[in-house]
Every structure is written in C-alpha cells, then in structure tokens.
C-alpha cells in the first residue's frame, strides 16, 4: 500500500534527509587511501547520532553496521570492516539512512578514492546523471515506469547496464515502503505518481552485465562478472510543483 505524506510529514522527512545527506558527505570526504570502511561507518554513525537521529540501517534485518559501504565490484550492501582498507584507484559506494522523528531519509553516492581511471569516472558520472534523469520524471500524474525508463535509456545509451535484481522503493515511516521503483521499465506503466508520495530513486549501474550475486554473508552483493558498479540515490517527494529532493544538506 502506498502511503501519502502530509505537508508536515514531508517537512520532517526533509530533516531526516538533511541528516542522512550530511552524514553521506562527511563519509565521502573521508574516502582516501589507507582508511578502512569501518572507520567510514563510524563517521556516519557518530554524525547521525549527534543530530539526535538513529542510523536507519543499523540492525535492520540484522545488518551489523550504520552504512552500506561497497567497493569496486560490490554493488550494494557491503558490510564495513576494519580489514577492508581503501587503496588508490578504488571506487566506493556509500549508502546512508537516518531515522528522525518517526521518518527515514535514504541516500547514496559513489566516491573516487585517490586517482581513478577514466572508465571508472565515466561510470560514476553516468550513474549520477541517470539519477537526475529519473528525478525529472518524478512528476504527479506520471507513472513509475516513466522514471524507470528514463534511467534505463540513459544508462544503456552509454553502453552500461542497470541492475535488475534490486530496485528503489517508497520510503517514509518505514525504510522500505511501496511502491517499488525499478531502474528499467516501460514509460506509461506502473503505479501512478501522486502528490504526497515519497520515494527513493537509486540507480545501480554496472560496467558489464546486469547480473549480480549475493555472497555467503547474505548481504554483500557483487557483479557476477567482477566488473565495476556504481550507485547513487536520493529520497524525493512528489508535489504539485514537481519533485523535491529531500536528501540535501544545503
């Protein structure tokens, strides 16, 4: 069931989104050779808690950390570890959620660690740009498929693939709500977008094929062919005046 939010609830979600966005940026700034993903996770947790919020992901379904930190061919749900030390040339996807006054904000971005190659940079740029192509279609009266198709077309036109086994989602009082928001689809199909809907749009884009596999820890999800993957995400609200990005810190 899709839950429509009131104007007041969307204002609260802006605060949750602001906290999640700032935590993500702080972690991104700290991405450099020699730091562990566990240290990045600590930065996220400390900031979120300093704002009187809670990390959305901590203990969610048993997830053991405050952020998902995914390096290179890890698509999503990478578990932070003191043994995972970043090195020059890595790309690092960080997914952060904050729960504040009863609502979640959820966002993600992929960061360069030191000097990365042109192919990795192009992947990051394309994934980020595809997110904003999807957000352009997040208009009242459109359908989910309009968002999905905009992302898919942008990505595939640049010879990358979109992950199909994991998708975006509604977000609000629960971290994951209806509707699902795939990164592929047919325009004019799917749930109709209504004012008051709040959704997380999150393209996951691979250099190679779209296939992924989940490792034995039941969280870490990697590209099946071992090639690079990038991930960007914003929580947005559908309003009569277009989409509002809720996960912005400034």
Domains and CATH numbers, the chain: 7-245 (3.90.230.10)
What tokens does 250 get? 């400034």
pTM over 0.95: yes
Which is nearest to 121 in space by CA: 228, 11, 234?
228
Give the pLDDT confidence score for residue 235 in this predicted structure.
98
Q: Which residues of the chain have pLDDT under 70?
A: 250
Give the pLDDT confidence score for residue 249 in this predicted structure.
79
What tokens does 117 get? 């190659």
- Strand pairing category for 212-214 and 242-245: unpaired
φ, ψ of residue 96 to 5 degrees: the values are -130, 135
**How far is it, in rounded angstroms, from Cα 206 to Cα 160?**
6
């Amino acid at each position: 069931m899709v839950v429509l939010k009131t104007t007041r609830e969307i204002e609260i979600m802006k605060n949750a989104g602001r906290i999640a966005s700032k935590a993500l940026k702080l972690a991104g700034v700290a991405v450099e050779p020699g730091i562990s993903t566990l240290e990045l996770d600590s930065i996220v947790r400390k900031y979120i808690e300093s704002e009187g919020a809670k990390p959305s992901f901590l203990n969610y379904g048993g997830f053991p950390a405050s952020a998902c930190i995914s390096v290179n061919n890890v698509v999503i749900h990478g578990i932070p570890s003191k043994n995972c030390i970043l090195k020059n040339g890595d790309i690092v996807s960080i997914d952060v959620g904050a729960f504040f006054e009863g609502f979640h904000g959820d966002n993600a971005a992929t960061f360069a660690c030191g000097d990365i190659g042109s192919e990795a940079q192009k992947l990051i740029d394309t994934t980020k740009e595809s997110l904003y192509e999807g957000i352009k279609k997040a208009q009242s009266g459109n359908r989910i498929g309009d968002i999905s198709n905009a992302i898919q077309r942008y990505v595939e036109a640049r010879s990358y693939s979109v992950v199909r086994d994991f998708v975006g989602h509604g977000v609000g009082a629960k971290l994951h709500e209806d509707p699902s928001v795939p990164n592929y689809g047919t325009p004019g199909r799917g749930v109709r977008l209504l004012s008051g809907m709040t959704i997380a749009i999150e393209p996951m884009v691979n250099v190679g094929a779209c296939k992924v596999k989940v490792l034995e820890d039941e969280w870490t999800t990697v590209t099946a062919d071992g090639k690079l993957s990038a991930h960007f995400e914003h929580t947005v609200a559908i309003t009569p005046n277009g989409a509002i990005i809720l996960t912005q810190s400034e």
